[in-house]
């Protein structure tokens, strides 16, 4: 974030960003917009995406973390909530929190979805639990908390309510973390993991350009990619277009993460890998 | 509606909600937005959904009725219009109307699409026919009335025009009804019907929790579901998560309608039923 | 455009329209919205469509040209950019320009995408090249110029910056044209071409109602459609509904272009044709 100069103007009106796995086939997103505009008519709503794979908290968390630095500070609503409606001990909490950096407000389920984004903005300075929020719609449905709880709370906060007005204080230490794999040096190479695959079969992997340099791989290098008992060759390049169609390329993606792609093809298909699979990279 | 407390703020700017079957693959929705903003630059547009199955007036009508209580009162544009461009005696009328409750304005074809929503808001207090509207774009295309007639009329109304400014008065009694099946007691059970199926295979059915109670079924009950010469067992539960994966559950959905679903599966597929099919429910 | 009376109100707030091939599965569109609102919080954003087939500059150009007359004059951002990230001599330029008519501002890659729309508004009065724009985000990614270059420039222009503030002047004569086929009389008939096919298999073709009249075909006429060594019969009609289901119809579409469609079917499939394929039309 620090390195990105966004030239932002001072926001003069309330902003709510919204990410979910609701999809666009049904009216769920539209109804949440209705609830938000009803509570905060001046809000500008930015739909980050609603096509997070259904119930995929991890992808939602990574996309939220990648996207928020480009969205002006405001209220950031995110709903990927596979255990909504589960009662008793398994019930997840519902949260609104304020980040240490930039005073961003995040609203969503306490299932790890918000955590990577919160860490990117210095952690949580303050948090409240929302289950008894005076802002929730009544009757409150068991399963559509986006509409009945999270959207009205987000809108109330955008309209100027304080965290203490919308929920009960809770300890920021108790916010649920999200387990993510970590790249590590191994056998002279770098063990990396597939963090997510996009709709074109491009893979986001952990590890960084610096970690690749430490194993002797730099721009233009050939890199061996070992997985599933096979070895592929990839070239480190600054752009897809620098390799031939069908070739594997290792690059820094537009989010500053490492990517593995096939020019005009699918790396996920070529390598036969998916989320959390491990790959060993070695300089050639 | 009366039971839902939406905590709405007073709307200080014009609002147009928009539902259609235009889909998102083409530029149709974007062009209608252009026309609306051109006529009423201050409008906030809420897209309820544009993924109503193509030409499916009934699904559009049910989704509109379910969604509007969560959308602030304003101008509500809806276009699912299979007979647009049909001339002569088969031509459907084009309407704008004001509801008895909440003074909502609805705009769309007179083919039953608006009717269930209008009834939810107490019926129509006043209606006008739009075919000669001074607000329509000229030339007016034969087939894209969303762009050329309905969007500019909705925008004009949002900008403050009265119904009488945009069309010719017509009798509210002549607004076309929408035929819907009705649940009814039969043979000690309750005959219900599939109103619509969502993209997950969850079925919305007619009938209510009260009607189920009248045949002896309450929360936690087992219910026999007879259809297509087979009998399935469903459990009445407050949430999907209360039944095992693969099991059939009968619940009150987030719209307050009865739903039949399979936890992590498709009830439409399991039962082999679709719209308007009849099911007989019996307490076990 | 001249013939369409849009009844537009004076725009009192900045407007950015946005067309791309980013699709809706990823967060790309949402992130660009974030950048735009960050730089110009008062902007109204109209998404024309983001479902242009991937890297299909020609379809993007035709849709932009068709849509813009219905979108109020403002800043019009368009990104279909297959050669983004290609360096050296193959690098395409990045442009912002002002049209002669209506003072519209268009922003996008200089690959022909903007050109048909620009010509519709009388050509370009003034243009600037954006590669060194002070408005671009830094670091600037190699591949996501929508986010890092085009969106912030569009937002700056919407916020009131002049063209000279966001790039370096360049000659309007150098703006890259877009090669399009042209209908022409041949052998007593009219040779036309498939300009694009929509998601229903309806074909937009070049040629006009006047050119059809010149070969003796008018409303109600039968027309022979010769292609791929076969001959089909089409009827010239003002609406789909005037021909039987399954029949081929030649009509003027809602954009004022000629269309070939099959009532409740796919003309692309029936004729076995796609983009740029030539058809010979003859009056029967």
Contact A25 B51 (CB under 8 A): yes
Partner A contacted by C142 (CB < 8 A): yes
Query: Whole-model pTM?
Result: 0.92
In chain B, residues with a C-beta closer than 8 Å to the C-beta of A145 are none
ipTM of the modeled complex: 0.90
Distance of CA B23 to the CA centre of its chain: 16
Q: Is the pLDDT of residue A199 over 80?
A: no
pLDDT digits (tens, 9 = 90+) for C94-117: 999 999 999 999 999 999 999 999
**Using the 8-state DSSP alphabet, how is residue B142 labeled?**
S
Backbone angles phi, psi at C274, to 5 degrees: -145, -165
Cβ under 8 Å to A: B residues 239-278: 239-241, 253-254
How far away is chain A from the Cα of B187, in angstroms, using its nearest Cα?
A: 32
DSSP assignment string, A9-28: PPP-S-EEEEEES--SSSSH
Which stretch of DSSP H or E encloses residue A63? helix A57-67
Contact A30 B238 (CB under 8 A): no
| Nearest chain C residue to A71, by CA | C34
pLDDT digits (tens, 9 = 90+) for C184-243: 999 999 999 999 888 789 999 999 899 999 999 988 899 999 998 999 999 999 877 778
CA–CA gap between residue A144 and residue C165 (Å, rounded): 47
DSSP assignment string, chain C: -TT-B--PPPP-S-EEEEEES--SSSSHHHHHHHHHHHH-TT-EEEEEES-SPTT-HHHHHHHHHHHGGGS-SSEEEEE--TTTT--GGGPPPEEEEEESSTT-EEEEESSSSSHHHHHHTTSEEEEEE-TT-TTS-SSPPSS-HIIIIIHHHHHHHHTT--HHHHSEEE-GGGSPP------EEETTEEEEEEEEE-TTS-EEES--HHHHHHTT--TT-EEEEEETTEEEEEEE-SSGGGS-TT-EEEEE-TTSSEEEEETTB-HHHHHT--TT-EEEEEE-
Q: Kindly state the percentage of chain C with pLDDT values over 90.
A: 76
In chain A, residues with a C-beta closer than 8 Å to the C-beta of C34 are 17, 46, 48, 67, 70-72
Nearest to A21 by CA among A29, A13, A30, A11: A29
Better pLDDT: A40 or B197: A40
Contact C31 A6 (CB under 8 A): no
Average pLDDT, chain A: 92
Determine which of A27, A33, A83 to mutate to test the interface with B (most B C-beta atoms within 10 Å): A27
Cβ-proximal residues to A220 (8 Å cutoff; 6+ apart), any chain: A235, A236, A237
How far away is chain B from the Cα of A253, in angstroms, using its nearest Cα?
A: 27
pLDDT digits (tens, 9 = 90+) for A215-236: 999 888 999 999 989 999 999 9
Q: Is the pLDDT of residue B225 over 90?
A: yes
Distance of CA B189 to the CA centre of its chain: 28
Q: Is the pLDDT of residue A6 over 70?
A: no
Q: Is the pLDDT of residue C1 over 50?
A: no
pLDDT digits (tens, 9 = 90+) for B240-254: 777 888 999 999 888
Nearest to A239 by CA among A221, A223, A219: A219
Q: What is the mean pLDDT of residues B188-203?
A: 90
Please, are residues B281 and B207 in contact by the beta-carbon 8 Å criterion? yes
């Amino acid at each position: 974030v620090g390195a990105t100069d966004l030239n932002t103007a001072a926001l003069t009106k309330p902003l709510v960003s919204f990410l979910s796995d609701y999809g666009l086939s049904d009216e769920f997103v539209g109804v949440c917009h209705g609830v938000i505009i009803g509570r905060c008519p001046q809000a500008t709503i930015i739909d980050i995406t609603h096509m997070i794979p259904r119930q995929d908290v991890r992808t939602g968390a990574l996309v939220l973390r990648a996207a928020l630095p480009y969205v002006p500070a405001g209220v950031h609503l995110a709903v990927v909530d596979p255990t909504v409606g589960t009662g008793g001990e398994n019930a997840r909490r519902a949260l609104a929190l304020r980040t240490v950096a930039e005073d961003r407000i995040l609203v969503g389920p306490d299932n790890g979805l918000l955590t990577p984004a919160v860490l990117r903005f210095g952690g949580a300075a303050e948090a409240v639990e929302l289950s008894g929020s005076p802002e929730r719609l009544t009757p409150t449905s068991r399963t559509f908390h986006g509409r009945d709880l999270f959207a009205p709370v987000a809108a109330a906060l955008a309209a100027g309510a304080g965290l203490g007005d919308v929920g009960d204080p809770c300890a920021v230490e108790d916010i649920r973390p999200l387990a993510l794999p970590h790249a590590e040096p191994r056998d002279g190479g770098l063990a990396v993991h597939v963090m997510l695959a996009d709709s074109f079969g491009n893979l986001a992997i952990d590890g960084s350009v610096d970690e690749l340099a430490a194993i002797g791989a730099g721009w233009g290098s050939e890199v061996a990619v070992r997985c599933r008992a096979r070895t592929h060759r990839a070239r480190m390049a600054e752009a897809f277009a620098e390799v031939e169609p069908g070739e594997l390329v290792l690059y820094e993606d537009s989010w500053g993460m490492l990517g593995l792609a096939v020019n005009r093809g699918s790396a996920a298909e070529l390598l036969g890998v998916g989320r959390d699979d491990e790959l060993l990279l070695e300089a050639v």
